[in-house]
Amino acid sequence: MGTVVEAASKNANGSILEKKNPTVVFVLGGPGSGKGTQCANIVKHFGYTHLSAGDLLRAEIKSGSENGTMIQNMIKEGKIVPSEVTIKLLQRAMQESGNDKFLIDGFPRNEENRAAFEKVTGIEPAYVLYFDCPEEEMERRLLSRNQGREDDNIETIRKRFKVFLESSLPVINYYDAKGKVRKIDAARPIEEVFESVKAIFGPKNEKVNQYVRIMSKLYMYKFHFASKTKIGNHYFSRFALPFGPIDYVHPRFYGGNLEVILLLAACSVPAHFVTKLENL
């Protein structure tokens, strides 16, 4: 019987890349920073699929495969699992989820992971959630929890801290230089941390949902948008929109880009007209 990696490799060309514009958010932070707990909250409130690289690797270990034994030995030694192994497991999980919005937790762990993920999947993350927490607090949390994990002992925990600092921080710095890092103080209580998370996910999604409904209805009922708005041509070049002066607004043209949606929605459509659309 082949390994999960081999099985996933057979389907690599027919993977989630067939989905249109999947949204990927990398979730990074040291061991014990609370990533998993916050991901569960995001899934519940915002409809993302949570893919924990660690959970996928542990499931493979539990399967007893040759691949799983190799993973187990590397984790015990505090080493990083090869990029190919984790990416294939992630690809398979993304394929099977039926969703197009993903939180990828604990990956990429180094620059090689990052480059390999973008090359293999063709996906660049929308942004990176970075849960920043002091090492002393993370160590306290890990030693006090009781999950039965073999790698939750003081020696291995400290190896994991060291690996994170040496390997994962450069990934965070890479995306920070691109303006894609959302840093969160994770030393606070769970509820307070999630308030910060909601500030990133919540308001944007509420506005997007509202204006997607409006724009979709404008298209569906074929209202002549150009006759009701005055949008300068510079907006089209600025956002690289694939159309000229607007006749109809089709959802595929704005693809969830909040700034474009807000620009369109802020044009001179009478308030009573917008209200009518919302109530259709």
154 is in an annotated binding site: no
Give the span between the Cα atoms of 49 and 248, in whole angstroms: 33
182 is in an annotated binding site: no
What is the SS3 assignment for 72-125?
HHHHHCCCCCCHHHHHHHHHHHHHHHCCCEEEEECCCCCHHHHHHHHHHHCCCC
36 is in an annotated binding site: yes
148 is in an annotated binding site: no
252 is in an annotated binding site: no
237 is in an annotated binding site: no
20 is in an annotated binding site: no
113 is in an annotated binding site: yes
244 is in an annotated binding site: no
35 is in an annotated binding site: yes
In 110-240, which ranges are continuous DSSP H helix?
A: 111-121, 135-144, 154-163, 169-177, 190-220, 233-239
Q: Count Cα neighbours of 18 within 13 Å in the Cβ-side half-sphere.
A: 11
2 is in an annotated binding site: no
- Calculate the alpha carbon distances from 199 to 144, 202, 204, 255, 265 in Å: 29, 6, 8, 22, 22
160 is in an annotated binding site: yes
Q: What pairing do the DSSP bridges indicate for beta strands 101-105 and 23-29?
A: parallel
Which of 201, 16, 9, 10 has the alpha carbon at shortest distance from 98? 16
8 Å CB contact between 113 and 28? no
140 is in an annotated binding site: no
207 is in an annotated binding site: no
Angle at 53 between CA 49 and CA 55, to 5 degrees: 85
106 is in an annotated binding site: yes
Sheet of 101-105, strand order:
49-52, 101-105, 23-29, 127-132, 181-185
Binding residues for ATP: 32-37, 145, 188
List the binding residues for CMP. Answer: 113
Q: Annotated binding site: which residue ranges?
A: 32-37, 58, 79-81, 106-109, 113, 145, 149, 160, 188
Q: Residue ranges for the binding site for a ribonucleoside 5'-phosphate?
A: 58, 79-81, 106-109, 149, 160
